[in-house]
Amino acid sequence: MVRNSVNIRLNTALGQNFLKTDRIARKMAEYIDLPVGSVVVEIGVGSGILTRVLLERGFSVVGFELDRRFAEVNRGLEGPGCKLIYEDFLKADLGSISEYVAYVANIPYYITSPIIERIMFEGPRFSKALLMVQKEYATRLTASVGTKEYGVLTVNVNTFATVRELFQVSKSEFIPRPEVDSMAIELRLLERPEELPDRDGYRAFVRRCFSQRRKKLTNNLKCLVSSPGELLLSCGIDPSVRAEELSVGQFTELYRLYTLQREAERGPKNRGYREPGSL
């Protein structure tokens, strides 16, 4: 087991829930259908269980780990095909990482959204991301229109990527044991994502649309446009709808028309809604 093999007390404040064995790590690695020598970026190296599997399969690994206590434990992994960086992935300079890498991570639950935000909108273009996330979080990522799980996260991620659930992972596979099961997911950027005037603005717009889920969408848009009902009708959308009833395609079209209307009015009424860097 991880804790005994490395003799390090795990820090629950950092969300450290490590795999007990390499069984799940090997299962995840099977989904990396890239040539030998391809660069794989691992977020959260920990004790190196997944890192070893990636190296065995011939990948070149760039690993990030916040907890420097693991530096000595993993020293034997480092070499020409493995560079381990002991700093916060959310603050690290990703400029030196080549494009079309694969990301692999067993993500601490409390920073799942910031990490997905980073790899999707701030890092190099990637071929795929294989992520271990909380099962409930995966359900939100893959939710259908009109369900209670469908929301800001669903729309903002699926506008730019496809998400696929791969396999469930029992909480008994981790140490210390978390309270919930996990789900391995695959995230792929769309080859031809929607052309939007401003991606940060779009994601903030979606957040505003869902700001009060129980209210009609027109109510949530009042602070942005003078006639939200007319804006919806111009998109062929019933003004009585709620945000969770709109598809991703309808959100992108609505945002395009909103930006055109805002520019035409020459008086932006969107003060206070911009929240760049937030899913």
Q: Hey, what are 140's tokens?
A: 């939100």
CATH number for the domain running over 199-265:
1.10.8.100
Region 98-113: what's the mean pLDDT?
90
**C-beta neighbour count of 247 within 10 angstroms:** 14
Confidence of residue 196 (pLDDT cuts 50, 70, 90): confident
Which residue spans of the chain are classified as CATH 3.40.50.150?
2-189
Q: Report pLDDT digits (tens) over 157-173.
A: 999 999 999 999 999 99
Q: Which residue has the tokens 């069984």?
A: 23
Query: Measuring CA to CA, how many Å separate 8 from each of 66, 168, 177, 256?
Result: 14, 27, 16, 52
CB 67 within 8 A of CB 16: yes
Region 47-63: what's the mean pLDDT?
96
133 pLDDT exceeds 80? Answer: yes
> pLDDT: is 254 or 193 the higher one?
254
Distance of CA 34 to the CA centre of its chain: 21
Alpha helices in the chain (DSSP H): 2-6, 23-29, 49-56, 112-121, 135-141, 152-158, 199-209, 217-221, 228-234, 248-265
Phi and psi for 100 in degrees, rounded to 5? 65, 35
Which residue spans of the chain are classified as CATH 1.10.8.100?
199-265
Q: Report pLDDT digits (tens) over 2-38.
A: 443 556 666 655 667 888 899 999 999 999 999 999 9
Q: Name the region of 210 (left: φ>0; alpha: ψ -120 to 50; beta: rest).
A: alpha
Q: Hey, what are 30's tokens?
A: 């099977």
CATH number for the domain running over 2-189:
3.40.50.150
* pLDDT recorded at residue 180: 92
Region 112-116: what's the mean pLDDT?
95
Q: Hey, what are 123's tokens?
A: 């890092």
Whole-angstrom distance, CA of residue 203 vs CA of residue 210 = 11
